[in-house]
Structure 1
Amino acid sequence: MIRWLIFVVIVGVADYYAFQSLKTITKNNWWHILYWVFTIAVLANFVIQFYSFSRSDGFSHANSYAIGLLIAMIVPKLILIAIMLGEDVIRIPQAIYSFFTQNSGDGVKHFPSRRTFVSKIALGLAAIPFASILYGIYRGKYNFKVLNYTLHFEDLPDAFDGYRLTQISDIHSGSFDNIKKVEYAIDLINEQQSDVILFTGDMVNNKASEMEPYIDIFKKLNAKDGMYSVLGNHDYGDYISWSNPEAKTQNLEDLKSLQKNIGFDLLLNENRFIEKNGQRIALVGVENWGKGGFKKAGDLKKAASKIDAKDFKILMSHDPSHWDEEVIKDDYHYHLTLSGHTHGMQFGIEIPGWFKWSPVKWRYKHWAGIYKELGQYINVNRGFGYLAFPGRVGIWPEITVIELKKGTKNT
């Protein structure tokens, strides 16, 4: 109840200032009517979808779009509030001063009118996130980007100098609503012609059945040294209600079979060796391990039980907090860890090679791209799909291509 009250207060204040701004720059009643029709329709749809949400099914497309439209409406209004409140910081003291210093009997208006140019500036600035969010919903969620990295290792086996791997993560197939765009992304992955494809978890939102319409599309993926995968937190079906524990268990088994059908070798706290010209690198895959209430099924010691400390090691672990908490502190040296999970929050500002920012940085120390600590690398993939909010703004869906090179960067 308190949450709803806070929500109503925020929306009420936002609409008060937004409508004031609109009235300042136009007296046309049709614009006023359109404003309220749009506002009421978005709010009503959100309330309807909120109360129709099914815990047994998880987020539907209708639920996601209701959230997306609400965000598209609220964020610009919050910008309006900030600007209009700033003007009121000046107007209110002026009104108080005028009240005590001017004779009200002379018909003096104590409260200054809101200035038109301030309203225009506010609406102009508010239009930027409004347009960006709508773009993110309409096109941004399928604006796939191939990000290329070259990483140097002095102890990389000679046979793997120039070895290329493609990483994808966080497919979240239950959110897709455009098969053609997914087909395009799969073709884009294959065009990279990497030696191996690695998938770092969250194939579905909740249920294995979400992936069924896309099985034949993903079966087109191919790499000469195979495809490997691990589980993410959403793959276990922990975020919806099940009719019985057996149904939940069966769902996970169905997902495992589905991954095998696509062509993935699913690593469940296991390892594999990729061999080339008599040399090898170790591929280690753990089940999900995440701090902050997320499932901790990952067992790093078990996953690495059959490899040697001197082996060159690539670890697949869905949640980057695992790297922070266990991996870089482990006795074994994990040369490269591949993670996902954060999605880059699907919102942020990024100028490749120069600047990146997202609110998710306040939750995760390592949230997007390549990081290096204690001589070990991690790549946090921004995700292939999307969840809850049906779009991406500034943080685009990612296909990562990493080339391994022998030696140091300067040689």
Structure 2
Amino acid sequence: MILRLLFFGIVLFVIELYAYQAFRTLIKLKWVLVSYQIISLALFVFIIYSFTLFDRSVGQTKQTMFTMGLLLLVYVPKIVMSIILLGEDVFRIAAGAVNYFIDNSANTGFLPSRRKFVSQVGLGLAAIPFLSLIYGIFEGKYNYKVVKQAIHFPDLPDAFDGFTITQISDVHSGSFDDPEKINYAIDLVNEQNSDLILFTGDIVNTHAKEMNPWIETFNRIEKPQYGKYSVLGNHDYGEYVTWPTQVAKDENFEAIKNLYDQIGFTLLLNEHTFIEKDGDKIALVGVENWGHNFKQAGDLKKASQHLTKEDFKILMSHDPSHWDHVVQHDEKHFHLTLSGHTHGMQFGIEIPGYFKWSLAQYVYKQWAGLYENLGRYVYVNRGFGFHAYPGRVGIMPEITVIQLIKGEKLV
């Protein structure tokens, strides 16, 4: 732990040195530079100290989220400045080498001085993530978007043509701090008037008690004609803290499973049920968490026992890597998988229908929205809540409404 903090501190110190170079190039007033150094040092010490207070038996708290937000707010802009100045240093070293070894007639020394223009560019570019992160903390994390997605299936049972499903995922109730905003989001869920509501896991960050203040709020989600169903996410197992005993961990897990029932959702644990409408039916399959790099409690074979390839199947599986590594190749042909988990890293750029980018795409092949392979689809919800970083930039909290359409999609 100490070595990691030491390495972390050294990295931040190097970033601070580069950022200071940019300020010193632009600002000549000594008192301003001294003030900048004092404030930077105070923030540096506070962030390092706050991380030393992290208690693995408690897990994420409001304090750790504040520290993470402050870390990103302070150092992401400085990293941008550092990259710009590092690029300038590469040029300065190259130019210095040419001047020193080839043409030293001017006798100007090895390194040319820093250019004011480059520092101005660095500060200008750094302002973009700085302002974005501030927006993400104060507005973005509750800027709920209703995303509507129609999906076509040639073999969809006739009675389910036009059937609608509202999906929510990754609530992370332990992170919430604004009841008015959460109530607004619940109103949005109810306004969709869908036929079925599905919740694809992560009701808390770690502890069941995190949901206690929000049970009444989530009980306001109206039960549609065809029900409310849920599965577990990786955070629902309490894997990310140190428990005093196995019994305490097991009790917390049982309490978390009971939470879904307390808000009116039927929890599917490696099992399936049938949704019936006008003589037709579809299978709703729910597996426990299965992640390529996370807990693998999901048992697809058990959950789909007695189902055939011809049965129309909707699968709830929290982690989209399950679809990528297992589900899309399964011989039973799962028509539609609904996942979450990635949050789109809560940071990225999206222009709907044209462009989307996030660091999440370098970890997950399917990280936000709809993906297809040979008639098998997975939809990855961007998440209802937030975790670690107390905000969202570019990748907004999502309430998904999926409409099932019978037939081929017209190109």
CA contact (8 A) 1:200 1:338 kept: yes
- 1:187 is paired with a residue whose SS is helix
The Cα shift of 1:133 comes to 1.4
CA contact (8 A) 2:271 2:285 kept: yes
User: Is residue 79 of structure 1 aligned with residue 80 of structure 2?
Assistant: yes
Amino acid in structure 1 at the alignment position of 2:77: P
1-structure distance, mates of 2:26, 2:226: 63
Aligned to 1:50: 51
Q: How many residues align?
A: 407
2-structure distance, mates of 1:238, 1:309: 35
Deviations 1:149-174 (A, max 9, x none): 00111111111111000111111111
The Cα shift of 1:95 comes to 4.4
Aligned to 1:272: 273
2-structure distance, mates of 1:7, 1:47: 9
Amino acid in structure 1 at the alignment position of 2:189: I
1-structure distance, mates of 2:213, 2:137: 22
Taking the TM superposition and a 5 Å limit, the aligned residue runs for 1:4-403 are 4-95=5-96, 101-102=104-105, 111-222=111-222, 223-292=224-293, 294-403=294-403
1-structure distance, mates of 2:88, 2:336: 52
Amino acid in structure 2 at the alignment position of 1:172: H
1-structure distance, mates of 2:95, 2:277: 78
The Cα shift of 1:288 comes to 0.7
2-structure distance, mates of 1:93, 1:160: 67
1-structure distance, mates of 2:229, 2:94: 65
Amino acid in structure 1 at the alignment position of 2:277: K
Q: Which moved more, 1:28-37 or 1:366-375?
A: 28-37
CA contact (8 A) 1:271 1:306 kept: no
CA contact (8 A) 2:5 2:48 kept: no
CA contact (8 A) 2:144 2:396 kept: yes
Deviations 1:338-388 (A, max 9, x none): 011111111111111111111121211111110001210000111111111
TM-score, normalised with respect to structure 1 = 0.94
Amino acid in structure 1 at the alignment position of 2:145: K
- 1:188 is paired with a residue whose SS is helix
CA contact (8 A) 2:9 2:48 kept: no
Q: Which moved more, 1:303-312 or 1:70-79?
A: 303-312
The Cα shift of 1:96 comes to 5.2
Amino acid in structure 2 at the alignment position of 1:15: E
Amino acid in structure 1 at the alignment position of 2:39: F
CA contact (8 A) 2:149 2:401 kept: yes
2-structure distance, mates of 1:37, 1:312: 64
Deviations 1:163-218 (A, max 9, x none): 00011111111111212111111111111111111000111111110000000000
Structure 1 residues 110 and 377: CA distance shift in structure 2, 3 A: closer
The Cα shift of 1:76 comes to 1.5
**Percent identical:** 56
The Cα shift of 1:2 comes to 4.6
The Cα shift of 1:305 comes to 1.7
- 1:242 is paired with a residue whose SS is coil
CA contact (8 A) 2:143 2:397 kept: yes
1-structure distance, mates of 2:218, 2:239: 24
1-structure distance, mates of 2:85, 2:349: 25
Amino acid in structure 1 at the alignment position of 2:409: K
2-structure distance, mates of 1:215, 1:227: 15
TM-score, normalised with respect to structure 2 = 0.94
Deviations 1:40-65 (A, max 9, x none): 23222222221111111101111111
The Cα shift of 1:92 comes to 3.4
The Cα shift of 1:91 comes to 2.8
- 1:126 is paired with a residue whose SS is helix
- 2:216 is paired with a residue whose SS is helix
Deviations 1:52-94 (A, max 9, x none): 1111110111111111111122221122122112222333344
The Cα shift of 1:99 comes to 5.8
Consecutive unaligned residues of structure 2, counting only runs of 5 or more, are none
